[in-house]
Amino acid sequence: MLPGDQYLGGLLMFFLDATRRHLLVIVIGPLVAMLIAFAFAKYLPPTYAGQGNVRMGRVDGAEAFSLQAAVSRVNSQAFKQSLLDALNASAAESGRVSEGAVESLSARAETSDTMSLAARAAAAKDILRIVQLTVKLLNEEQERIQAPLVADINAQLASIDANIASLREMRESLSSLTKAVSESQSGDAASAALRGVWLSELISRNEQRLAEARAERYRQTVRLSPRQTYPVRILDEVVVSPTPISPRPLRITFFAGGIALVAAFIYALIREGARRA
Amino acid sequence: MILSFLSAGCVLAAMGWIVFRRPALALIFLFVLFAFAWRLVSTFYIDSFGPVASEQLERSIGPGISVVPLAISQGLVIAAMLLSFHPRRLRELAFRDQSPVAALTPSGHFKLSDLAYWAALSFVLALWIELFVVGSIPLFVAIERTDYLAHYAGPLHQRLIEWGPMLAFQFGVFFAMPALRAESFDRRFGALFVSLLAYLFLVGHRFSSFYAYSTFFLIPLGAVLLQKQVRGLSVRELLPGRTLRYFSLAAGACALLVVVAISYSYLVVRSADQVGTKLSERILVQQGEMWWMTYERIFLRGDWDIALAFDRLFVDPFDPTRNSTMQFLMELALPVSRAHFILAQGAAYTGGWPEVFFELGGPVGGFVLVALSAVAFSEFMFLIVRCFVQERFVTCLFLTPILFTLSINIVSGMVNSFIQLTFVVKIVAAMLAYVTEEQWRSRLLSTAVRTSDSLQAPATR
């Protein structure tokens, strides 16, 4: 049976001996690696991360597509390709955005009608452009899908407007007719009174239909009002990290130092084994 | 149907062959093989008897041939396992390193196994004391094990849930260690293991814990069996009639415990109405349903997004402290709000491997990733068996957390544990332990050789 104290003690002493004998390598090696890594990290291009919350658009209170569909759409390769094309098209004015930045775009559902868009890019302005263009593309898609509904509502509005105009003309005619009847001096008072009643009945009915048409116009207008119909839009300002998320010189430095430390220990242990042998 | 039957049948036949012709290997890989067989049968059921209703997914799944890619993936693992444990490598393992470390180490005050035993006994005793101090024993007061863990359990119970299977593996190591030198098993560790199972029974655990703890406990036993078989001993010589009877009794008792625990959980704790339906759903549908969803999405619809999968698995999972694979698969399979609600309760569905590799690599690249994971896992298993057989117990101890991580990866597809700093620390610690133990043992051996040479030299002169 293995003697516990001798086995564990022997191993520990071997480890400590190896460390003591090669202390210089164990200390200097990681320090040198850390210095090199730090210098290297300083030359790496920076990457910023940003996030913006987006509210889905609606027409007449209804979504063009569900939030989940929008999230899947934004995360799809086809959408990212469209985004890249759109960014390249405007590259002359605003500069090129890397493909990697577009690839990094990801959407996820936040609440029942909002999603967050996150992206990483070499400059903060690129993230803003990516998010803004994503919203623009989503709006274009929403407009395409909802165009028949909007056209239908607009056609109804036009028809109502025409109706109102004709009712107004009718009102004008009726009022001039009433005036003409009241000014006429015909002898038959009973007939004049009857005409008067008939005209006031017509005016009243005209007014009622005009009021109904106006109410209907209001209802149709409300369908396209900002309360019921609004585009996809960014809720708050897009938040971009003030400092680059990468490279992180300290992290890279300690990582390199850690690897070098392990390598130095392994070297020390192997040398110690070879020395004793 | 025929294709599904053939592919599932081939893999199940290969597993059967391993069980009967290479029982040592079956014991070492029992954790994985059992999970594989279960998922395969479940997926075959969904394929052949579909459409079947899935309560968890709230939809119908199947029919199809989803079992074919699953069987190929499992076949790759079995092939890697057989290659890693090829008879030629095993012969080298059993006969090459024969350094009698125990004989070369100076005699000490206490044995390594005694040290381990007293440490383990203290923990197990403290665990029982903690259970009685807390007062609410889940089995008697009908509390779900998850509720007990969240609201009542003490710190030692929390540690057991985190590290339990690894502790069971260490119990197995010290239980089987004397058998490496043809001595009888160290029953003290067997008793500790039994008390651990009894504890788990009392705190409301049902099948999965007994399965994980027992299969991890059996790995060293499989390694001993492997060593003896390579050296020409038969199973009967290693496990004579009486010992085999004891093991059979223990296995029977464990199975009985599982049956009682499951029945009690369904009938008393949950007061379930349709126990039969619930059990058939649990056994035949839930194991394969997530794979079926992946199969439908990737193989049938060609819909996968590597960047999204990478983001959800490693960068921005719903809960980064848990298995991100199942979180991602649930987000894909269910309405996101529902998936998040279930995950927030602390629950998760079953599966994850090989789904995660197909989500990351698509229908073709997925097989490459599966093959890589299979090779990594089987080679690691060979390493840990080698360390145990060669009595490198310190390395074995440091490899244990990595064994757990890799096993969980191959069963439930957890990949975000590989990018945790703690995992890197575990790898580094295991590497340093391995090199230290290797070099120290070489030194012991060379010192012994030099001493014997110097003693022989004057005699020959």
Q: Identify whether B354 is preceded by a cis peptide bond (ω within 30 of 0).
A: yes
Report in angstroms the alpha-carbon separations of B426 from A153, B293, B420, B430, B445: 66, 34, 10, 6, 28
How far is the C-alpha of B116 from the C-alpha of A2, rounded, in Å?
12
Tell me which chain A residues have a C-beta less than 8 angstroms from the C-beta of B115. 4, 8
Kindly list the residues from chain B whose CB atom is less than 8 angstroms away from the CB atom of residue A3.
Answer: 102, 105-112
What is the per-residue pLDDT for B372?
A: 95
Whether B311 sits inside 8 A of A106 (CB atoms) is yes
- Segment B339-369, tens digit of pLDDT: 888 988 888 898 999 999 999 999 999 999 9
B chain contacts of residue A272, beta-carbon cutoff 8 Å: 439
- Residue type for B293, please? M
CA neighbor of A103 nearest in space, from A87, A125, A91:
A87
pLDDT score of B73: 96
Residue B301 domain flag = no
Is residue B186 within 8 Å of residue B245, measured between CB atoms?
Answer: no
As a whole number of Å, the CA-based R_g of chain B is: 24
* Contact (Cβ atoms closer than 8 angstroms) between residue B365 and residue B387: no
Judge contact between B411 and B353, C-beta under 8 A: yes
Q: What residue of B is the nearest CA neighbor of A273?
A: B439
**Which H or E run includes B61?**
strand B59-61
Residues on chain A touching B178 (C-beta within 8 angstroms): 1
Closest chain B C-alpha to A59 CA, distance in angstroms: 24
Q: Which residue of A has its CA nearest to B449?
A: A277
Residues of B in contact with A8 (CB under 8 A): 112, 115, 394
CA B200, chain centre distance (Å): 17
Residue A187: the pLDDT is 66
User: pLDDT (tens digit, 9 = 90+) per residue, A2-22?
Assistant: 677 778 888 899 999 999 999
| Residue B235: predicted pLDDT | 67
Q: Mean per-residue pLDDT for A180-202?
A: 80
Mean pLDDT (whole number) for A244-250: 85
Torsions phi, psi of B293, nearest 5?
A: -65, -40
Across the interface, of A10, A76, A269, the residue whose CB is closest to B105 is A10
**Contact B45/B284 with Cβ under 8 angstroms?**
yes
Do the chains contact at A106 and B307, CB–CB below 8 Å?
Answer: yes
Residue of B nearest to A16 (CA): B436
Please give the pLDDT value at position B413. 92
Return the pLDDT at B441: 85
Task: Check CB contact under 8 Å for B110 and A5.
Answer: yes
Q: Given this model, what pLDDT does residue B179 score?
A: 87
Instruction: Identify the closest residue of chain B to A7 by CA–CA distance.
Output: B105
Residue B247 belongs to domain spanning? 2-287+350-453
A106 closest CA partner among A46, A47, A51: A51
- Using CB atoms within 10 Å of the CB of residue B436, give its burial: 0 to 12 exposed, 13 to 18 middle, 19+ buried: buried
Which three-class secondary structure state does DSSP give residue A211? helix
Å between A115 CA and nearest CA of chain B: 12
The amino acid that residue A117 corresponds to is: L
| B234 in a structural domain | yes
* Domains of chain B: total: 1
Handedness of CA B395, B401, B406, B408 (dihedral sign): positive
- Predicted confidence (pLDDT) at residue A97 exceeds the cutoff of 60: yes
pLDDT in tens, B224-263: 988 888 877 766 666 677 777 777 788 888 778 777 777 7
Integer angstrom CA distances of residue B304 from B67, B317, B335:
19, 17, 17
User: Taking the mean position of all CA atoms in its chain, how far away is CA A6?
Assistant: 65
> In sequence order, what DSSP letters do the residues of A32-94 get, joined into one string?
HHHHHHHHHHHHSPPBEEEEEEEEPPEETTEESS-HHHHHHHHHSHHHHHHHHHHHHHTHHHH
pLDDT at A2: 67
Instruction: Write out pLDDT tens, residues A55-89.
Output: 988 888 888 778 888 888 888 888 999 998 888 88
CB-CB under 8 Å, A77 with B108: no
CA distance A239 to chain B (A): 17
CB-CB contact of B401 with A236 (8 Å): no
N-terminal to C-terminal alpha carbon distance within chain A = 25
pLDDT at B458: 60
Range with the lowest mean pLDDT among A27-41, A90-104, B349-363?
A90-104
- Per-residue pLDDT tens digits of chain B, which is 461 residues long: 788 899 999 999 999 999 998 889 999 999 999 999 999 999 999 999 878 888 888 888 878 899 999 999 999 999 999 999 998 888 877 665 555 666 666 666 778 888 899 999 999 999 999 998 887 888 887 787 888 888 888 899 999 998 999 999 999 999 998 888 878 889 899 999 999 999 998 888 878 888 999 999 999 999 998 888 887 776 666 667 777 777 778 888 877 877 777 777 666 666 666 667 777 888 889 999 999 999 999 999 888 888 889 888 998 888 888 899 999 999 888 888 888 889 888 888 989 999 999 999 999 999 999 999 999 999 999 999 999 988 888 999 999 999 999 999 999 999 999 999 999 999 999 999 999 998 888 888 777 777 766 666 665 55
B23: which residues sit within 8 A by CB, 6+ positions away?
B222, B225, B235
DSSP-derived 3-state class of residue B346: coil
- The answer to whether the beta carbons of residues A197 and A127 sit under 8 Å apart is no
Closest-CA residue in chain B for A275?
B443
Q: Which residue has the higher pLDDT, A94 or A189?
A: A189
Enter the tokens of residue A196: 């008067």
Q: Give me the long-range contacts of A221-228 (CB less than 8 A, separation at least 24).
A: A221/A157, A223/A60, A223/A61, A223/A153, A224/A59, A224/A60, A224/A150, A224/A153, A224/A154, A228/A58, A228/A59, A228/A60, A228/A61
b or e along A217-245 (b: 16 or more beta carbons within 10 Å of the residue's beta carbon)?
A: beebeebbeeeebebbebeeebebeeebe
A to B CB pairs, distance under 8 Å:
104
Helix axes B421-460, A249-276, angle to 10 degrees: 10
Query: What's the pLDDT at B103?
Result: 67
Give the one of B111, B336, B442 whose C-beta lies nearest to A277's C-beta: B442
Contact B439 A109 (CB under 8 A): no
Pair A245, A14: CB distance under 8 Å: no
Chain B partners of A83 at a C-beta cutoff of 8 Å?
none
3-class SS of residue A245: coil
Chain B residue nearest residue A262, CA to CA: B428
**Contact between B443 and A273 using a beta-carbon 8 Å cutoff:** yes
Q: Quick check: B113 and A273 CB within 8 A?
A: no
- Distance (Å) from the C-alpha of residue B430 to the closest C-alpha of chain A? 11
Of B107, B178, B393, Cβ closest to residue A3: B107
Q: How far apart are the CA of B303 and the nearest CA of chain A, in angstroms?
A: 10
Q: 10 Å Cβ neighbour count for A207?
A: 13
